[in-house]
Every structure is written in C-alpha cells, then in structure tokens.
Structure 1
Amino acid sequence: MAFLSRSRIVIGTLSAFALLAWFAWHQGWGSSPKKYLTTTVSVENLEETVLASGVVKPFQQVSVGAQVNGQLKSLKAELGDTVRQGQLLAEIDPLLPQNELLKSRAALLSVRAQYKARQAMIRQYELDFRRKQSLVASEAGSRADLEIAEAQLHSSRAELASLAAQISQAEIEIRIAEVNLGYTRISAPMDGEVIAVVTRQGQTVVSAQSVPTLLILARLDRMTVEARISEADVVRVKAGQAVSFNILGDPDRRFTSHIRAVEPAPESIARQDQMQGAGGATAGGADAAVYYNALFDVPNEDRSLRTSMTAQVSVLLDSVQKATTVSVAALGKRGADGRYEVRKLVNGQPQTVQVTTGLRNDLNVQVLDGLKEHDEVVLGEEPEPQ
C-alpha cells in the first residue's frame, strides 16, 4: 500500500509539472523576445545629388581640312605637336592652282587687248559717222550710209561695255585663282595640339564633294565634360550648380566645377534630323531614353584628362550642414500632413512616432523633428531561426 501511495504521488507530481509547462508555453513564457533590425539617428552633412555619366572632350576642337584638290606634298606637324595660330601645317602640290592662276591672268590680258582694239574701232566709227553726217547736211551724201555708220557706232559701244564686264570677270577669276593657290598652304586656325593625323604625306585629297580632313587640333589645357542628364532629373539641374566627377583611371581624385549650360534639346535631336533629311525613319521611339547634356569646364594643366574619357558625374542640388539624419528605409507610412511614421525603439520595444523630414538623398533623410541624435529606430524584424 505504501508503494502504491508513493507511485500515485510521483505520477501526480509529474502531471502537475507537465500541465504547468504546457500552460507556460501556451502563454509564451518560453518564447524568446523579438529581435529588431535597427539603425541609429546621427548628425552629419547631407547632400542631395543627381548622378550621371559623361564624356570628356576638348574645350575647343577643330578639324583642319583642304579646300583644293591635289597631292599632300608635305606635312609640317606630327601627332602630339603643339602649334600656334597661323603656323604652317601642310602644303598641297600647288601646280594645278598655279596653272589656273596663269590661265586667268592670260585671259585678262586677252580681254584687255580686245577692249583696246574695240576702243580704236569706236574712234574710227565716230569719225566716219561725223563725216557722213556733214555730207548729209550739205546734201552731198546718202542718209542710208549715215544710218549704217550710226548703227556701227552704237554696236561697237555696246561691245566695248561687254568687254569691260569681261575684264571685271577676268579680274575676279584671278582673285579666285590666287585664293585657291593660297589654300595649298594650310595654316593652324588656332593654338592647340595635334590629336589626330587623318591624311598622310603623299596622299591625294579631293575636295569636290566635301572638305577632306588632314589634321585635328584641340585645346587640351581646358576640357569640357558633357554630362548626360535623364529627362527625370534635368528639371532640377541648372546652370551655376556645383558639380564634381572622377574618371575610371583615377577614381580617388575628384574634379570640381560649375555647370556652364544645360542644352535645351536632347542629344538625339541631331541624329533624328539627319535621318529625316536622308529620308529614313525617326531615330528612337516612344520608349527610348531621352538625355540632355549639361556642360561644364575644368582646367587640365597636367593633361590628366584625355578626350573621350568617361566621367562619373555628381551634380549638387542642395546640401545641409550638421543635419539630423536617419536611413530612408526607416520611414513608414506618410500621413495627410506630410509627416512619416517611424518606429522608435524604447526599452527594447518599438513605439511609433511622427517625424517631419527635410532634404533627402537615396540613402538618408533629414529629420526636422520627432527624433534626436543617438535614437534607435526600427528598420525591420530579424527572421526567427528555423
């Protein structure tokens, strides 16, 4: 009997413990407290920027071409040479233009000789006309002969006027031939450096359809960056805004400048005009991305920037010094008054507070009220272990 009594006591005790454990689990006593992903409110300088890619180009670039036909007789500049405005760069064989000039001068001499001969004939016709006029007045000559003499005189004077016009035309032809002869000596139109040699010495250039390019000159002491701004951001980008960029070859160095101008039309408009002029379809479609070029200049005394380099551009829209900031991910629902819900962690438990925001970028937002430095705010809940 004593053994049975002790067994009942043990069984009853175990049942009580099991019931108590079940009740504790059901009430959540055994569950671990929730863990939250949090971030801390901090004070820092905040900037709002527009990011864009750009292309580095010379501040000034000129394609030096030939305006006459002929063989490139000599090339006076090589790739990388520094040249001054007016410096001789190339010479085209002048034989054909020289012959044209000699031909024009000979034509002028011929016309002037004809003019003098016509002047002598007019003097003869004038004397003949006066003589026949006197004979008719004295009734000793024929009126018909007088009329013929008068017609010859007027015709010769008209031919003399035509020859005078031909002399002017011949003089113009000489000036054109002199200009063409001068075009055989090609000079630098500006100070700069030779960045490309397109035509080599000995090649024949033909300028009948278009001006063939011999050299490309550029000013490399100052470069222009064309930043491609999307249509979504271009309304916020204006001339005078601060801008910075780096290049792929030297990502740690930041170049700074200010926007000089924002082009009023997208960069694709030139291609569209060319295709329409050629009878082709319009480039791009309704879904094609549209970009506008923002232009700014930067000194390049050390020649670290080269033409056609890619630039990673950042346009500064606005900035705040020592702003109270929090991660954009902490912002919750926006109310009708423009304030946002943020869950602030107090004694390990989240409490919803309303905050007023100011300047923001892709990562952080300025908090004007509702939070202070070192406050912890909830970004989300940590997933429970499986």
Structure 2
Amino acid sequence: MNLKKWSATALVLVAAAGAGWWWMQRGDAPAVSYRTAKIERGGLQATVSASGAVNPVTQVSVGTQVSGQIRDLYVDYNAEVKAGQLIAQIDPETFEYRVRSAQADLDAARANVLTAQANAAASRANLSRAQTDLAEAQRSHDRNLNLVAQGFIAQSEADRTRALVASATETIKSAQAQLGVSEAQIKSAQATVAQREAVLAQAGVDLGRTRIKSPVDGIVIKRAVERGQTVAASLQSPELFVIAQNLSDMQVDASIDEADVGRIRTGLKATFTVDAFPGQSFDGEVLQVRKAAQNVANVVTYIAVVRFSNAAGRLLPGMTANVRILTDARENVLKVPNAALRVRLPGVEPAGAAPADAAAPVAAAAGSGAGGRNPMTELRDRLVQQLKLTEDQIGKVDGIFASARPQFAALRELPEKDRPKARERIMVEVRARITDVLSPEQKPLYAALVAEQSGRQSTRGRVFVLGADGKPQAFDVRLGISDGSMTELMMPANSPLADTLKVGAEVIVGTQSAAPRAASGPRFSF
C-alpha cells in the first residue's frame, strides 16, 4: 500500500512539473504597447461636403401655346439669341384661315349695325310723320268744335275729327315703339361687332404665337423639337427650347444632409471640383439655403445654392460638382488627432472631472468659451454689441440668462447620454425668449448669430496619455471644430491640464500587442 501511495504521489508531482514547464515555455500574456501621436498647434477648418449640379442662375423653358407642325427652326444648340428673336415657326396656314373667317364675321356684324341704324332712321321718320298727322288732326278737331258751337256744322263732324285725333295718337305710340326696337337692334349689332372683334383679335394672337420668339437674351442649351415635328398644346405647353440667360454667372445646387444644414448659412465661402477639370478647384459663396426639404429614399436633404463666376465659360450646365462649404475656421489652436478620441481603454478612468466640466452645459450652449471667459457673458456681450440692444432689452436678456443658469447646472445630474437633448431643449426656450425681446430689425441679425454659434458648439471627449510609469492616464476634455482628421482641443490658459495636454504631448491613438501570435497576426484597438 505504501508503494502504491508513493507511486501515485510521484505521478502527481511529475504531472505538476510538466504543467509548470509548459507554462514557463508559453510565457506570460503578451504585454501591450501603445501607438501615440503628438498634439499640435495650428489652424483648423470645419467644412461640410456635398454634391450637386452646376446650373445657370436663370434658365427659361420656351414652349408653345398653340398646336401645329414645326415648319422652320432658326436656332440650334449653343446658339446665342436676343430677346424677341424668331427661333422657330409653326405652320400658320390653319391660323391664317381662322383670321380670315373672323374678319368676315366682323364685316358682317358691322353691316348689321348699318342696317339697324337705317331701320332706326326710318322709325324716326315714321314717328315724325305721325306727330305731324296728330297736330293736323288736332287743329281740324279744334275748328270743328268752334263751328259746332256756332251751329255751322253738325255734331257728327266734330265726332269724326275726334276719332282722327285718337287714331293719330295711337300711331305715334306705335312709331315710338318701333323706334325703340330699332335702337335696341343697333346696340345688339354693335355688341356683336365687339364680339367679332375679340374673336378676330384672338385669332390674330394665335397666329402670332406660331412665331416662337426668345423671351430673353441668352444661349440655347437645349432643343427638344425637329423640323416637321407636330407639337400639341391642348393640356400643357410643350417644351421646345431651354435658354440659359447668362452662363457667366452660374450656381451649384448642392444637396446638404439634414444633419449638416444647421451649420450652413448665407455668405459662407465654398469650393468645389468637377470631373471635367480634375485637380482644379473653383470658388463660390453660399447665396441661399432653401427651406423646402427633398426626401429621396427616406433621406432628407436641403438645397444650398452656391453662386460663382464662370467668366471663362469653362463650366457647363449639368456638370456634377463636389462641394466643400467652409463653416468655421480657427487659427493657432491646439488640435489632437481624431484617432486619439476613438481610443477606449477598459478600466482606465480619469482621476477627476475636467476643470471645464462645471461650466460644460453653459459652454456647450453658449459657444466656444475660449480663453476661460464665461461663455454666457461672452454671448451677452455679442448680443449687446451686434444687435445694439437698448437698456430695457439688456435687462430682459440678463434676466433670461439668469433664469437659465440653474437649468444648465441641473444637467450635471443627468446621465451623459441624456444631456445633449436636455441642453438643446433649454437653448430652444432661451432663443425663443430672446427673440420675443428683439425688434423686427434685430431678429434677422439674431438668427444669423444663432446660425454662426450652432457651428461652434463644443462637445466632450476623452484622451489617454502615457504617464511617467508607462501606464495610460485618462483626461476628459472639451472639443471644438474638426476637419475630419484633427479636432480642436479647447484648453483655457488657466486650466490645470495646460501643462499636460500641450504642444508635443503624446496621446494614445491605438494599442498593439508586443508579442502577437503569428497565427492571428497583430491586433490593434482603436
């Protein structure tokens, strides 16, 4: 039994020794090395990229309001035209016959007027004759009455002349009625003449519309018809030509994503390239941001109009332009590689909150807060100076900021992910209250100031720096604008981190195993 126990013990010891030898041969877990990059100082430019099409500032679609066959074409692509110049002719034969028919109807109507006027003249003559007969009958009746009174004639003779007077009176009434009818016929005939004149004028207009003329000075950039082609304008005017009024001043209609449109405002500088001239850049300026949304495949975009000069005539309508709009620029600022902001090292947390955190909600709402100055104070001063606020307005604005500070301070109690939305709700309320204080002349200036500030809001980030012991240290920082590869590191001059996060300081941009396995290859973490 003792021999068996010793044998079992020996086997366990041998197995343990073998496992230890295997573990020693495998070695410890590979150490982690860090890839670093330096903090730099220099300029940064924040841009928004978009694509669009080159278009003339003004282009006119020339159509036709009458139907027919194209008989002649007088211009072609790229032809320069003047306003009023004949550019096409529709066969006018049908419209010429309509004019002749309308002219004949007008002549007949005018003849009817003359006939009605002649009938009225005859009616007036009949009335005059009836009035004369009545006067004669009245005189005869008056004489007979005198003779009857003197006993020279019988009463029957007076009765006869009385009947003649009554008959003449009725004849006058009939003549007057006939004259009224004749005058009404004249007015009816004259109205018919006016109607026929309108028909003739319309026929003349339609005949004139067979001559297609250029409405503006410009260049023909599209011709949609051929000689002999029939065009129908029954429902809508067909497009015959497209004329660009001026190819020296053109624009790019760029589609801006809804996430970036808040950073775009009029007056911003822009550059763009086109495939036709690789390696060349063209300068422009944002002229307009259209409020109408474009929804394509559930992607919402807005059109920003970039105006530029095309004096050399090199760019042509319809070219695809890749646009970069400069939304903000900073000079002589600290900047850190974007890769450093994407590094995540589990278990490494900052020793304490960044000094700017106490004012973070206010700084993010008000603007950059560069130089350690109170951001709310800086924003207030800009409002006073740029909007020229009155004393009464200054007092109201100060009250608005004072009531907002406790709300911003309360943001620190919220989870990090909920702070941006809550902060934006507060700022929307603050902006609305400030707008109510301003005059109609000040409101556009304030809207431009808000648009400018929206592109300068700071965000929070974290960077890792290797300490003296070779271990990473985490620091929460405030970040400004980014150009896609570098991001502004907002570091007030009096910040305790100014000596650590300075020009030349090494920040971690990735990790790599010091002894990676050959089978799996190197592993990086970003």
Q: TM-score, normalised by structure 2?
A: 0.61
SS in 2 for 1:261: strand
| Structure 1: distance between partners of 2:114 and 2:230 | 43
2:201 maps to a residue whose letter is R
2:301 maps to a residue whose letter is Y
| Structure 2: distance between partners of 1:127 and 1:184 | 52
Which of 463, 473, 478 is the matching residue for 1:342? 463
| Structure 2: distance between partners of 1:32 and 1:232 | 43
Per the alignment, residue 360 of structure 1 pairs with 482
| Cα distance, 1:117–1:341 mapped onto 2, change above 3 Å | closer
Per the alignment, residue 99 of structure 2 pairs with 101
Spell out, residue by residue over 1:166-193, the C-alpha distance to the aligned partner (whole angstroms, 9 max, x if none).
2222222222222222212221111222
1:364 maps to a residue whose letter is M
| Structure 1: distance between partners of 2:330 and 2:278 | 25
Structure 2 residue runs of 5 or longer lacking an equivalent are 1-16, 139-163, 361-459, 492-496, 518-526
| Structure 1: distance between partners of 2:508 and 2:43 | 22
Per the alignment, residue 199 of structure 2 pairs with 173
Per the alignment, residue 174 of structure 2 pairs with 148
Per the alignment, residue 46 of structure 2 pairs with 48
Q: Which structure dedicates a bigger proportion of its chain to strand?
A: 1
Larger Rg computed on CA atoms = 2
Which of 237, 245, 249 is the matching residue for 2:276? 249
What are the equivalent positions in structure 2 for 1:59-70 lying under 5 Å apart? 59-70=57-68
Q: Offset at 1:248?
A: 2.7
Spell out, residue by residue over 1:199-239, the C-alpha distance to the aligned partner (whole angstroms, 9 max, x if none).
10112222222212222212322222111112222122111
SS in 1 for 2:321: strand
| Cα distance, 1:163–1:329 mapped onto 2, change above 3 Å | same
Q: Paired residues, what number?
A: 347
Between stretches 137-146 and 238-247, larger displacement belongs to 137-146
2:85 maps to a residue whose letter is Q
Which of 263, 266, 285 is the matching residue for 1:236? 263
> Does the alignment pair 1:312 with 2:322?
yes
Which of 121, 131, 138 is the matching residue for 1:123? 121
| Structure 2: distance between partners of 1:170 and 1:260 | 52
Structure with greater contact order relative to length (CA < 8 Å, sep ≥ 6): 1
**Aligned-pair identity (%):** 33
Which of 480, 499, 502 is the matching residue for 1:372? 502
1:342 maps to a residue whose letter is V
What are the equivalent positions in structure 2 for 1:296-335 lying under 5 Å apart? 296-331=306-341, 335=353
Between stretches 350-359 and 331-340, larger displacement belongs to 331-340
| Structure 2: distance between partners of 1:354 and 1:230 | 30
| Structure 1: distance between partners of 2:480 and 2:81 | 54
Q: Offset at 1:349?
A: 4.2
SS in 1 for 2:98: helix
| Structure 2: distance between partners of 1:102 and 1:52 | 59
Spell out, residue by residue over 1:363-385, the C-alpha distance to the aligned partner (whole angstroms, 9 max, x if none).
32112323222111012321341
Per the alignment, residue 441 of structure 2 pairs with none
Per the alignment, residue 351 of structure 1 pairs with 473
Which of 204, 208, 211 is the matching residue for 2:230? 204
| Structure 1: distance between partners of 2:52 and 2:333 | 30
2:480 maps to a residue whose letter is G
8 Å CA contact 2:30–2:516 kept in 1: the answer is: no
Per the alignment, residue 36 of structure 1 pairs with 34
SS in 2 for 1:318: strand
Which of 268, 282, 300 is the matching residue for 1:290? 300
The root-mean-square deviation of aligned C-alpha atoms, in Å, is 2.8
Per the alignment, residue 251 of structure 2 pairs with 224
